[in-house]
Amino acid sequence: MKQQLVIVESPAKAKTIEKFLGKDFKVLSSFGHVRDLPKKGLNIDVADNFKPTYAVSPDKTKVIRELKSAVANSSDIWLASDEDREGEAIAWHLANALKLDINKTKRIVFHEITKTALEKALQHPRTIDINLVNAQQARRILDRLVGYELSPVLWKKIRTGLSAGRVQSVSVRLIVEREREIKDFESASYYKVSALFKGDNGEVLANLDKNIDSLEDAKKFLECLNDSIFTVSSVSKKPGKRNSSPPFTTSTLQQEASRKFGYSPRQTMSLAQRLYESGHITYMRTDSTTLSSLALEMANNYIVNNFGKEYSNQTQYKTKNDSAQEAHEAIRPTDFNNESISGEEQQKKLYKLIWERALASQMAPAQVERTELKIDISNSKNYFLAKGEVLVFPGFYKVYGNIKDDTILPPIKEGEKLDLIESTANEAFSKPPARYSEASLVKKLEELGIGRPSTYAPTVSTIQTRGYVEKVDVEGKPKILKVLRLSNKVVSEEEEQVITGADKNKLVPTSVADVTTDFLTKYFADVLDYKFTAKVEDSFDKIADGKEDWVKMLDKFYSGFHPLVEKSGAATREEVSKAKHLGDDPKSGKPIIARFGRYGLMLQRGETESEEKPDFAPFPEGYTLDNIDLDAALIMFSLPRVVGKTKDGEEITANIGRFGPYIKVKSTFVSIKDNDPFKITLEEAQELYNQKLEQIANKYIAEFKSGIKIANGPYGPYITDGKKNARISKDTDPKTITEKEAAAILKNAPAKKKFKRKTKK
């Protein structure tokens, strides 16, 4: 009897599903997409309704062959790829590649990999939803058109190898604009005033109801407190509550995993994917905050049994995004009784986070009692406020979140007079907008409606690998703050040094991001417009719902986009490179120009159009096109600097190159890493050069007449003939290897893989 064949996306998922379905079913994996637009060429016939030309991916020919064989020997075929648009497209491509009838082939989807969910899916199969397929096709084709036509423009005008994308370029723009906001921000100082009072039953710390703008006013205010009477004008006690957060969506999971564990969006999604495929959580790409009735019941039972009925508060959260297309339920554990899982530590931590958040969303709010004292000042219209808070009932805090320590105020009556012990006015500064972290960028994209759950992680990763953005630790700067203190009727002034502006793992744009964003914003305003990009996403949603024709949507977009590509050809390199004339060289009279070049920011002395070839110099560290000046530029033209000579009389020069500072002796380059090329001494340079010579001398352990050599490499000793390399096992002494043995090892070594530069058109 023939088995029934179920085709899923991943082998891990296949193993989990096969355990539930039993011997009557065979479960195989397609290993993701099997067909796509070939990498070379556009492969879209714009004139023929944007007809795409798909082909089986070269690395999937064997997979398709094996699946065809399995199809021929199966009684029924079930396409069970993921339930989002991408999964629907995979099912459609599989049907085409395996020559299955799209109108008859059974398509099943499930939000979780459990026996109950699988049995329900098998009882309610459907056919492939062509609307979902068309929504995915529209996204794929539109992004190919943008990338294919826009990237070559960037290669020609800015730098070879750059890429552009609808969501990618908008994300870079967000980071560039935020960095410019920070640079343009003018910080203003102000003073926060606090006071410590003594009452009949204890001490009270209170804050002034408003900040004071200047040092002089702060001094005057503290002095006026000397002759003031402080009266408690009101005591109010109010009950309050704190509600739990909804269960996770893709975006909020990425943000919280970043905040709590430092996971990147890509890392979080990789871990969540494995949790899903192992049957631990529901599908991890979702915009939805709703839970199924079964999940609500499971959570309620767990809460009542483990904490008591008073902790239960069954809640169905409404999804903010009405067009949420990715799923029908939030991310949650498949079984609330499983508080933890076994396995890899990172997966365990993420699972626990998902379990806690989903369970807490169904728990009662935390109850608090808030007390507020208003303290009037006889010599001022301002007043002090003291606030206290006591946790009365923990509610969802039993499972998720941090309970703050109670702030308890002593018993104080309305009308009570207080004695001032001390008051301070601490200087503070207004802060610029915060730089984006990976998590906060995802949050911003979601707020703007740009991208969808499946696109967040790859977008954040792509803008970094393409060199537009760097994730860095921002160093803080020391700042002197003034502190005014009123004690024993005397106002004193103190100073304290603090480090301000320090931050970790923030996204900072590179110079190429600045130049590219300005160019694209000028010539492709719509593509980089936030609202326009969000409207494109809305169009994909409408296509998925069958409310918009995908070909008409693409035609409307392309008819506006393509003319912009042609128009951008008029941009000059000088305009794009943001060339900035800093002044003239006092010695030669030639203009000194700062601009963006092939490898980033650079300095130029002389005009490109003149007969005499211009000189070039590296950009000084810490400067940008906005703050570079003539003096800083002229210093860089003093390179290469002659440091001195070697013992053999060879000249040693110091310079800065693409990969940092270096010294050079004849044709030998030596990296000087942390040394300053302007300050490195002759002794330091000679020592580094001698170390390099020693390294070169010790490179070859043995050299044979046949041309075979045994060499020391960065990853250990190896054998080479100049064309092919072979590793030497750790338990073999490379010095004992004979020429014959070396030749045999080299012969049996696998052939070197050909390097192919990856380019995204």
Which residues belong to the active site? 283
Return the half-sphere exposure (C-beta side, CA atoms, 13 A cut-off) of residue 489: 1
Order the strands of the 600-605 sheet from edge to edge.
580-584, 591-597, 600-605, 615-618
Give me the amino acid identity at 544: A
Rounded to the nearest angstrom, the gap between the alpha carbon of residue 304 and the centroid of all alpha carbons in its chain is 39
Peptide bond into 620 cis (omega under 30): no
Strand partners, 742: none
What distance in Å separates the CA atoms of residue 240 and residue 368, rounded to the nearest whole number?
5
d(CA 229, CA 417): 7
Q: Distance (Å, rounded) from C-alpha 241 to C-alpha 393?
A: 9
Q: What distance in Å separates the CA atoms of residue 274 and residue 478, rounded to the nearest whole number?
A: 45
How far does Cα 111 stand from its chain's mean position? 26
- Determine the distance from the C-alpha atom of residue 605 to the mean position of all C-alpha atoms in its chain, rounded to a whole number: 38
Per-residue HEC secondary structure of 13-38 comes to HHHHHHHHHCCCEEEEECCCCCEECC
Retrieve residue 153's tokens.
Answer: 């423009």
C-alpha to C-alpha distance for 334 and 355, rounded to whole angstroms: 9
* CA separation for the pair 370, 359 (Å, rounded): 27
Task: Give the span between the Cα atoms of 594 and 571, in whole angstroms.
Answer: 19
Q: Please classify residue 704 by burial: count the beta carbons closer than 10 Å to its beta carbon, then call 0-12 exposed, 13-18 middle and 19+ buried.
A: middle
Residues in contact with 490: Cβ distance below 8 Å, sequence separation at least 6, in sequence order? none
Residue whose token pair is 């100082």: 189
CA angle (130, 132, 136) in 5-degree steps: 110
- On the CB side of 718, how many CA atoms lie within 13 Å of its CA? 13
HEC secondary structure over 658-683 = CCEEEEEECCEEEECCCCCCCCCCHH
d(CA 540, CA 452): 10
Sign of the dihedral defined by the CA atoms of residues 455, 457, 459, 462, in that order = negative
Q: At what angle do helices 166-184 and 530-544 cross, to 10 degrees?
A: 150
* Rounded Cα gap, residues 299 and 337, in angstroms: 9
Contact 435, 179 (CB under 8 A): yes
If DSSP codes are grouped into helix, strand and coil, which group holds residue 650? coil
Give yes or no for a contact between 582 and 629, defined as CB atoms under 8 angstroms apart. Answer: yes
Q: In the chain, count of helices (H) and strands (E)?
A: 20, 30
Contacts of 624 (CB under 8 A, 6+ apart): 511, 514, 601
DSSP 398: G
- Residue 299 CA to residue 89 CA, distance in Å, equals 34
122: helix, strand or coil: helix
Whether residue 53 contacts residue 44, with contact meaning beta carbons closer than 8 Å, is answered with yes
Q: Is 289 in contact with 246 (CB distance < 8 Å)? A: yes
